[in-house]
Amino acid sequence: MARAEKIFWAMFIWIFGFGGPSFALAENQILNIRHWVAPDHTRVVIDASEDCTFTVEKDRQGIAVDLENTTVASHIPALIPLNKPGVTQVAVFPVPPSGVRVSLSIPTQAQTTVFKLRKIQDQPFRIVVDIVLPEVVRQESEARERVKITRKDRIVVIDPGHGGDAPGAVGRRGTLEKDVVLSIARKLREILNGREGYRAFLTRDDDYYVSFNKRVQIAREYGAHLFVSVHADAARNRQVGGSSVYSLSTGGASSEAARILAQDENLADIVGGVPNGEGSDDSNPIILDMFQNHTLNQSKTFGNALLKHLEGANPLKFTTVQEAPFRVLKLPEIPSVLIETAYISNEKEERLLRSDAFRSRIAAAIAKAVVEFIPPLPLYAELVSEPKTAPKPSGRSDDDFKERRTEETVGAADRAGTAITGKGTSPREGEVRYRVRKGDTLGKIAVRHGTAIGALLKLNDMKLADRLLAGRFLKVPGAKTTKKEEAENQPGKLEDSPAAISKKIVYRVKRGDTLSAIAVKHGTTTRVLMKLNDLKHPDPLYIGRKLVLPGT
């Protein structure tokens, strides 16, 4: 008998009450059937009064979940049309003598996962059916990777906390944290995308749950420069209020409040509905010793900038960045913070969180901190006279090569202390060559060398709209440079000479240190430190590590 015919007769039995007496003895009851829709999957949730035994049957038409010794609440219809991605409808009908079948009509290209979730907080026992669209998953992942490869702007990934079955904190007036933080995140995205040099993306853009692992994966696939998780706090004491900022702790929490908050937030995978969410820390271990010390310090630096700007939007709960082991912040290569925008449990702040003006104010404050912490990447332009020795990558057009501007290329040139575009043309008599440094403008160069912008433009056959490429050599008229400047404008620097590194001292890395800070403190450069200590650019800087420094 075909499935459609089975469904027809089962629904006939259901409508006319066949087997009713035996159903009255059932121990379990289906309380509700709900669904959540994400871009790459649809989730159907069966709420039940008790834990129960169930079996799953799959065929070409879809999937059926059979629950034993179960009845159905009277308000649940026999047929629920959905017409959502991956699922068209849900049918509910009895299976004599005392069971219930929940049948989902699913296209053959979709993939399904069925799992159960235990009771937790205000969530009942649940049977979850995830209908995943693998082609959409692939397309979304590839789109994020393209952003990472071709990125020309600062990438900020904004994470609205909770979602779907995980509402987060709930205010007395019924305000849901998941709705508030999504609104703030959208406003923040709009502000950042309106600024030149920034692109912002959300981990979720609607009411559905995204697992911790998926949020982290999204940030990595985008190649994020910054990860910002937005939340709204709650406390039993409804007088408590204020904004706060948290960074990851690889050990204990900085306060009891931070510990409790992290404990509550880390439950989101279980509440929101992730298979084996209770044991995900064990099944997906993250070795905290691998976290780069400078990344954690960058997170705190950004957190301090956030506190400064948030204070203008709302009073602060803590005036310093708090630390706790938040699972969503476990990104060893990306500075990450969690913001508690306000206390939704506080009557006054709940009223503020419901206000569009306050949400905009919070979003604007976060945006200011982002811009302060990571200024836009410098814009680069081609040399007007391209040197003959400059290599052109195969498979690229001249325009592609000339207009190419990537952070990786400039970063490599900065680290090597050499020009990206070659040696350039030799200066004439009365002229000198100047190598453009990161942050230079024509105005700064003109002032430094006692000349005018117009003279630089004319001498270098440039237009005012042309962009300066870090590492490019400019001809500067009638300028005299110091010996130090002349050395800096050559491929090798004074600091790299044998005399500069013949005497060495040892320095032990302290908490809060970065390679650049150590270099500045000891009057050297990061390049010299990397050379002396055989370091590569992404190598971590561990607390207690001994570094060799050039003697003074």
Q: Which of 130-144, 227-241, 512-526 has the lowest mean pLDDT?
A: 512-526
Is pLDDT of 458 > 70? yes
Here the tokens at position 3 are: 């499935």
Half-sphere CA count of 70, side-chain side, radius 13 A: 28
Domain 3-132: assigned CATH number: 2.60.40.3500
Say how many C-beta atoms besides its own lie within 10 A of residue 96's C-beta.
11
Q: State the Cα–Cα distance between residues 198 and 228, nearest whole angstrom.
A: 14
Give the total residue count for the chain: 552
Task: Please list, in sequence order, all residues whose beta carbon lies within 8 angstroms of the beta carbon of residue 265, skipping any fewer than 6 positions away.
Answer: 161, 231, 326, 327, 328, 338
Is 366 within 8 Å of 314 (Cβ atoms)? no
Confidence band of 472 (pLDDT split at 50, 70, 90): confident
Q: State the Cα–Cα distance between residues 377 and 381, nearest whole angstrom.
A: 13
Q: Which residue matches tokens 């691998």?
A: 290
Confidence band of 249 (pLDDT split at 50, 70, 90): confident
Return the CA Rg of the chain.
30
Q: Which residue matches tokens 């992404």?
A: 538
Q: What is the mean pLDDT of residues 407-426?
A: 33
Is pLDDT of 494 > 60? no
The residue extents of the domains of the chain are: 3-132, 136-373, 398-492, 495-550
Q: What is the mean pLDDT of residues 259-284?
A: 53
Residue 163 has phi, psi (to 5 degrees) of 115, 155
Q: Which of 58-62, 93-97, 310-314, 419-423 has the lowest mean pLDDT?
A: 419-423
pLDDT of residue 261: 57
Is pLDDT of 367 > 90? yes
Q: What is the mean pLDDT of residues 470-498?
A: 56
Q: Which of 365, 291, 378 is nearest to 335 (CA)?
A: 291
Q: Architecture of domain 398-492 in CATH?
A: Roll (3.10)
pLDDT of residue 263: 58
CA-based torsion, 341, 345, 350, 354: positive or negative: positive
pLDDT of residue 479: 44
**Coil, helix or strand at residue 307:** helix
Q: State the Cα–Cα distance between residues 548 and 55, nearest whole angstrom.
A: 64
pLDDT of residue 308: 95
pLDDT of residue 480: 46
CATH fold of 136-373, please? Answer: Aminopeptidase (3.40.630)
pTM of the model: 0.62
Q: For residues 458 and 244, which has the higher predicted lDDT (pLDDT)? A: 244
Is pLDDT of 345 > 80? yes
Topology match between the domains 3-132 and 495-550: no
Longest dimension (CA), the chain: 107
Is pLDDT of 25 > 70? no
Tell me which range, 151-165, 476-490, 537-551, is most confidently predicted by mean pLDDT. Answer: 151-165
Q: What is the mean pLDDT of residues 256-279?
A: 56
Is pLDDT of 5 > 90? no
Q: Which of 117-121, 246-250, 388-392, 510-514 has the lowest mean pLDDT?
A: 388-392
For 19: left if phi > 0, alpha if psi spans -120 to 50, otherwise beta; the answer is: left
Here the tokens at position 436 are: 């453009």
Is 262 within 8 Å of 325 (Cβ atoms)? yes
Domain 495-550: assigned CATH number: 3.10.350.10
Q: What is the mean pLDDT of residues 3-8?
A: 50
Beta bridge partners of 73: none
Q: Which of 270, 263, 268 is nearest to 117 (CA)?
A: 270
pLDDT of residue 398: 39
Provide the residue type at 145 as one letter. Answer: E
Say how many C-beta atoms besides its own lie within 10 A of residue 103's C-beta.
22
Is pLDDT of 99 > 80? yes
Is pLDDT of 237 > 80? yes
- Please give the sequence-ordered ranges of beta strands (E in DSSP) within 97-236, or none if there are none: 99-105, 111-117, 125-132, 154-160, 198-202, 226-233
The CA-based dihedral angle spanning residues 254, 337, 164, 37, taken in that order and rounded to the nearest 10 degrees: -160
pLDDT of residue 275: 67
Q: For residues 71 and 332, which has the higher predicted lDDT (pLDDT)? A: 71
As a whole-number percent, the residues of the chain with pLDDT over 70 amount to 70
Q: If you ran DSSP here, which 8-state letter would residue 376 be given?
A: P
- The rounded mean pLDDT for the chain is 76
Say how many C-beta atoms besides its own lie within 10 A of residue 411's C-beta.
13
Is 335 within 8 Å of 227 (Cβ atoms)? yes
SS3 content of the chain, % helix, strand, coil (to 5): 35, 25, 40
Confidence band of 538 (pLDDT split at 50, 70, 90): low
